[in-house]
């Protein structure tokens, strides 16, 4: 027979024909993992995946043969998942092998760690029958002596290759055990400093009267999370060492991982009855699930409308019908609450997957799902590939979140892949959000998804009132804080209520924002903020390449008070410390959440009311309920608009709605204050009236006119190289080739232009962006150009990256 397979290291789009020896014929099927040995003396044997089987025929010329079978031939990829991988390969313009790679945990993609050991006692009992051949006897002889070997070592000892099938049969006969070995890696640690146990503040202050830096460190330790890392928060290692010598601080080691930790365990809340709205939505979904056919839904439910319990109820019926389910969340470590609610309901039947798992844990979780020991997989985007069979429902929570798009090859979108998987599996797919992505909402309006709505909060609390603080007119108490917001904070603290402050710095990429007049220089052709390039003193549009000279002052009011890169949270924290001396301020950003469980610990401290101000980046906006928060303040909302990305308004709108959702309950209404410069910007108007629909329609009209998604498709192609000239020349050639090949009216070619982040890790980046009305027009050609350019500029280490439906345009 002939097997058609995809082989590692053979980056070809079509499956490779290979001879399947007679002895293997009944042992493999599509999805089986095998060893493929190409024709010719010096070609290396590699792992391959069988796509299809066919009878021998004259027209197919095998290019090698299958020489061994892994996993006893049991498919490692289910049939629907195989089709999903091939869809990904076609849609995202990657090789099928790369797409298949995304489906499997790392240990399955190598035979390096395969171990074999004797199965112990059963040897005598069953021995006589199975140990028939001399090969098997020899294997048992070696294993009896050496106990545990890699399959490779065993092959070397015997001077034989391709033992998997034999070992598989011996395993089935209870003679040996096959497994994977894992290096146990020691947890990574980092040195940190804390205050010694017995230390009183006054003593320390007097001691340090002559050393202001040391005093600052001590104050930070007293007020913050109690831990300082050297060279962070403006404190040097030498300062902390000085303090240690004086017996004020001590050194200790902190484990660093971002593991999902249940440190944020929640009291079990049992919900007695669904609201009428929840019930109606749930009925729709249950009906669709009972039909066991593909049914995509968009659940548009405001924050606090109780979406989670609806998901849980849906999953209960899916499991009761003997089917399985997948739940996607944007990032587990940031939303410990969602994961813990699902665990509470499903216990052992749910397998949580997260990025900080070791490869052994990931492999075990995969096995658990593959063998049906768990029936729900919950995790971030790659969980969509969970090896479950008979899937009844797929839920994508916070479907608008940008974390669903993978930023390395294959650059798939977890949400879109979820919809496709549900289609292949005949499952219900629920995309849930308070601020749906424009893509999904457009699909819902067009009838591709069914729109379900939860327009009210569960407890019928009003959505918090949003107010705009015009920074140009308001008196400022500190550089970042207006008098209005300051007075609001003060009032809440006096009432012993809690405050969340957000400094949005999402994706800041070198655009210019004038702190005097609020001006953001924008490309007249693309409507996108321009980016500052120090070399050449230019402002440049990185979509179309349009450039203006720039002289470090605002083009509109000539002020030199320009907001650049500073994160701000640290500075704002110290401003707040001066204004509210008695208050403990929790700061949550990348600096303070790098250690294991730090994020959950900060949330816990805030929930337990050990602090009344939580200040941070967008992390503070993510899903948690704090009943005593009555005020949310956004320090500089305009930063969100200065991002050079056509989705800037959409992202700002959804972030603001999300953070606003943190404030207020029925008993204690909340308020949200947005400090802003460009108060005329339409996005604020829609935020104030709280209407997602109106915002959508207004913004959609602009997108339609300028030809941006979801009314056109984008594909960006980046050329990067350590050699700037090579990157630019290649991008130029790319633009030229595309212009020649695609000169049709269904496509616009933007660029080439330097990327907004012009250089990352020593690689210079230039890009071309395609706007397509008909996606198919370009795709086959693009891959050819990709290979051609990578080959032509190989000596310049050129990489050509194709990003289909790019989410990040920088």
Q: Which residues bind ligand ADP (CB under 6 A)?
A: 269, 271, 273-275, 278, 301, 303-309, 458, 625
Out of 514, 576, 652, 772, point to the residue binding Zn ion (CB under 5 A). 514
**Does residue 137 bind Zn ion (CB under 5 A)?**
no
Q: Is 564 in the site for Zn ion (CB under 5 A)?
A: no
CB of 669 to ligand ADP, least distance (A): 16
Shortest Å, Cβ 394 to ligand ADP: 17
Binds 726: which of Zn ion, ligand ADP, none (CB < 5-8 Å by kind): none
For the beta carbon of residue 26, count every other beta carbon within 10 angstroms. 8
Question: Which of these, 160, 119, 171, lies nearest to 138 by C-alpha position?
Answer: 160
- Which two structure tokens, joined as six digits, stand for 801? 């990256």
Nearer Cβ to Zn ion, position 492 or 765?
Answer: 765
- Partner from ligand ADP, Zn ion, none contacting 514, C-beta within 5 to 8 A by type: Zn ion
Counting residues that bind Zn ion (by CB under 5 A) gives: 15
Q: Is 543 in the site for Zn ion (CB under 5 A)?
A: yes
Q: Which residues contact 25 (CB under 8 A, 6 or more apart)?
A: 1
Q: How far apart are CA 793 and CA 153, in angstroms?
A: 41
Work out how close the CB of 278 gets to ligand ADP at its nearest, in angstroms, rounded to a whole number: 6
Antiparallel, parallel or unpaired: β 2-7 and 16-19: antiparallel
User: Which of ligand ADP, Zn ion, none lies near 541, with the C-beta cut-off 5 to 8 A by kind?
Assistant: Zn ion
Least distance (Å) between residue 273 CB and ligand ADP = 6
Q: Is 603 exposed, middle or buried (0-12, 13-18, 19+ CB in 10 A)?
A: buried
Nearest to 420 by CA among 396, 452, 436: 396
Of 39-47, 453-461, 553-561, 610-618, which segment contacts Zn ion by CB under 5 A? 553-561
Instruction: Name the minimum Å distance from CB 540 to Zn ion.
Output: 9
User: Would you call 586 exposed, middle or buried from its count of C-beta atoms within 10 A (0-12, 13-18, 19+)?
Assistant: buried
SS3 106: helix
The one among 175, 235, 554, 634 contacting Zn ion by CB under 5 A: 554
Partner from Zn ion, ligand ADP, none contacting 275, C-beta within 5 to 8 A by type: ligand ADP
List beta partners, residue 720. 765, 799
Smaller CB separation from ligand ADP, 125 or 276:
276
544 contact, one of ligand ADP, Zn ion, none, CB 5-8 Å limit per kind:
Zn ion
Q: Which helix (H) or strand (E) holds 83?
A: helix 79-91
Nearer of residues 305 and 786 to ligand ADP, judged by Cβ: 305
Question: Does 749 contact Zn ion by CB under 5 A?
Answer: no
Binder of Zn ion out of 136, 323, 370, 519 (CB under 5 A): 519
- Closest contact distance (angstroms) between CB of 311 and ligand ADP is 8
With CA atoms as reference, report the closest residue to 642 among 482, 507, 753.
507
Going by C-alpha positions, the residue among 567, 592, 614 that lies closest to residue 229 is 592
The CA distances from residue 209 to 203, 212, 226, 313, 541, in Å, are 10, 7, 21, 61, 51
C-beta of 274 vs 757, nearer to ligand ADP: 274
Query: According to the binding rule CB under 5 A, does residue 541 interact with Zn ion?
Result: yes
Note whether 430 and 396 are within 8 A (CB). Answer: yes
Q: Could you tell me the two tokens for 129?
A: 């029958």
Q: What residues form DSSP beta bridges with 721? A: 764
Closest distance of CB 459 from ligand ADP, Å: 7
Question: Is the bond into 33 cis (omega within 30 degrees of 0)?
Answer: no
The angle at the Cα of 422, spanning 310 to 776, to the nearest 5 degrees, equals 130
Helices (H) and strands (E) in the chain, counts: 23, 32
Largest CA distance in the chain: 93
In the bound complex, what is the minimum distance in angstroms from residue 521's beta carbon to Zn ion? 10
Determine if 587 is a binding residue for Zn ion (CB under 5 A). no
The interface partner of residue 546, options being ligand ADP, Zn ion, none and the CB cut-off 5 to 8 Å by kind, is: Zn ion
Q: With respect to Zn ion, which residue has the nearer C-beta, 573 or 769?
A: 769
User: CA–CA separation, 242 vs 231, rounded Å?
Assistant: 14
- Smallest gap from Cβ 682 to Zn ion, in A, equals 20
Which one of Zn ion, ligand ADP, none interacts with residue 516, CB within 5 to 8 A by kind?
A: Zn ion
- Give the span between the Cα atoms of 480 and 326, in whole angstroms: 43
Asked if residue 516 binds Zn ion (CB under 5 A), the reply is: yes
Q: Which does 303 bind (CB under 5 to 8 A by kind): Zn ion, ligand ADP, none?
A: ligand ADP
Beta carbon of residue 661, minimum distance to ligand ADP (angstroms, whole number): 7
Q: Which does 271 bind (CB under 5 to 8 A by kind): Zn ion, ligand ADP, none?
A: ligand ADP
Among ligand ADP, Zn ion, none, residue 543 binds (CB under 5-8 Å by kind) = Zn ion
The Cα–Cα gap between 506 and 807 comes to 13
Q: Which residues bind Zn ion (CB under 5 A)?
A: 514, 516-517, 519, 523, 525-526, 541, 543-544, 546, 554, 556-557, 559
């Amino acid at each position: 027979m002939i097997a058609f397979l995809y082989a590692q290291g053979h980056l070809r789009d079509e499956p490779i024909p290979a001879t399947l020896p007679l002895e293997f014929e009944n042992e493999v099927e599509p999805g089986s993992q095998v060893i493929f040995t190409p024709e010719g003396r010096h070609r290396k044997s590699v792992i391959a995946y069988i796509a299809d089987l066919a009878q021998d025929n004259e027209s197919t010329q095998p290019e090698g043969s299958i020489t061994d079978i892994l996993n006893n031939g049991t498919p490692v990829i289910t049939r629907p998942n195989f089709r999903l991988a091939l869809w990904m390969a076609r849609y995202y313009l990657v090789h099928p092998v790369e797409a298949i790679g995304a489906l499997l945990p790392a240990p399955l993609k190598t035979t390096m760690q395969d171990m074999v050991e004797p199965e112990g006692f059963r040897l005598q009992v069953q021995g006589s029958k199975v140990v028939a051949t001399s090969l098997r006897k020899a294997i048992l002889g070696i294993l009896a002596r050496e106990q545990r070997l890699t399959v490779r070592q065993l092959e070397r000892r015997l001077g034989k290759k391709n033992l998997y099938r034999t070992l598989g049969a011996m395993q089935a006969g209870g003679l040996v055990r096959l497994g994977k070995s894992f290096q146990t890696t020691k947890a990574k640690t980092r040195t940190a400093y804390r205050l010694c146990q017995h230390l009183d503040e006054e003593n320390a202050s007097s001691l340090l009267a002559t050393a202001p830096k040391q005093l600052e460190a001590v104050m930070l330790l007293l007020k913050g999370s109690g831990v300082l890392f050297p060279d962070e928060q403006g404190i040097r290692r030498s300062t902390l060492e000085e303090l240690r010598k004086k017996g004020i601080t001590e050194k200790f080691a902190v484990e660093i991982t971002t593991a999902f930790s249940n440190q944020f365990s929640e009291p079990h809340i049992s919900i007695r009855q669904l609201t009428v709205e929840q019930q109606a939505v749930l009925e729709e979904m249950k009906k669709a699930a009972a039909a066991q056919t593909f049914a995509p839904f968009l659940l548009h439910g405001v924050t606090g409308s109780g979406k989670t319990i609806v998901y849980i109820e849906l999953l209960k019926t899916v499991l009761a019908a003997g089917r399985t389910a997948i739940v996607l969340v944007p990032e587990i470590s940031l939303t410990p609450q969602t994961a813990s609610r699902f665990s509470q309901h499903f216990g052992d039947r749910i397998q949580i997957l997260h990025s900080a798992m070791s490869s052994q844990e990931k492999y075990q979780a995969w096995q658990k799902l593959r063998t049906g020991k768990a029936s729900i997989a919950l995790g971030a985007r790659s969980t969509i590939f969970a090896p479950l069979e008979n899937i009844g429902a797929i839920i994508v929570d916070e479907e608008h979140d940008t974390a669903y798009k993978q930023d390395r090859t294959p650059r798939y979108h977890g949400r879109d892949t979820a919809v496709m998987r549900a289609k292949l599996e005949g499952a219900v797919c629920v995309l849930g959000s308070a601020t749906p992505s424009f893509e999904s909402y457009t699909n819902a309006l067009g009838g591709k998804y069914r729109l379900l709505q939860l327009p009210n909060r569960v407890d019928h609390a009003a959505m918090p009132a949003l107010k705009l603080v015009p920074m140009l007119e308001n008196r400022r108490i500190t550089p970042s804080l207006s008098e209005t917001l300051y007075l609001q904070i003060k009032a809440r603290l006096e009432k012993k209520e809690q405050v969340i402050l957000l400094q949005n710095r999402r994706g800041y990429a070198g655009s210019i924002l004038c702190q005097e007049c609020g001006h953001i220089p924008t490309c007249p052709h693309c409507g996108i903020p321009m980016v500052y390039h120090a070399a050449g003193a230019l402002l440049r549009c990185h979509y179309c390449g349009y450039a203006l000279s720039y002289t470090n002052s605002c083009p509109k009011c000539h002020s030199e008070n320009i907001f650049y890169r500073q994160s701000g949270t640290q500075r704002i924290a110290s401003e707040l410390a001066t204004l509210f001396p008695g208050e403990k301020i929790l700061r949550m950003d990348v600096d303070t959440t790098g250690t294991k469980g730090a994020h959950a610990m900060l949330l816990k401290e805030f929930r337990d009311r050990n602090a009344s101000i939580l200040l941070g980046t967008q992390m503070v906006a993510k899903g948690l309920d704090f009943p005593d928060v009555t005020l949310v303040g956004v320090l500089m909302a305009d930063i969100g608009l200065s991002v050079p990305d056509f989705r800037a308004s959409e992202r700002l709108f959804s972030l603001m709605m999300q953070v606003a959702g943190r404030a207020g309950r029925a008993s204690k209404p909340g308020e949200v204050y947005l400090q802003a410069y460009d108060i005329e910007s339409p996005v604020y108007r829609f935020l104030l009236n709280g209407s997602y629909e109106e915002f959508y329609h207004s913004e959609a009209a602009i997108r339609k006119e300028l030809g941006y998604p979801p009314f056109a498709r984008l594909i960006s192609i980046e050329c990067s190289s350590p050699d700037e000239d090579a990157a630019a020349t290649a991008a130029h050639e790319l633009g030229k080739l595309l212009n020649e090949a695609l000169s049709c009216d269904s496509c616009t070619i933007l660029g080439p232009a330097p990327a907004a982040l012009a250089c990352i890790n020593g690689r210079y980046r230039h890009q071309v962006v395609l706007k397509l009305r008909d996606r198919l027009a370009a795709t086959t050609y693009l891959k050819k150009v990709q290979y051609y350019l990578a080959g032509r500029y190989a000596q310049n280490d050129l990489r050509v990256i194709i990003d289909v439906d790019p989410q990040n345009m920088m």
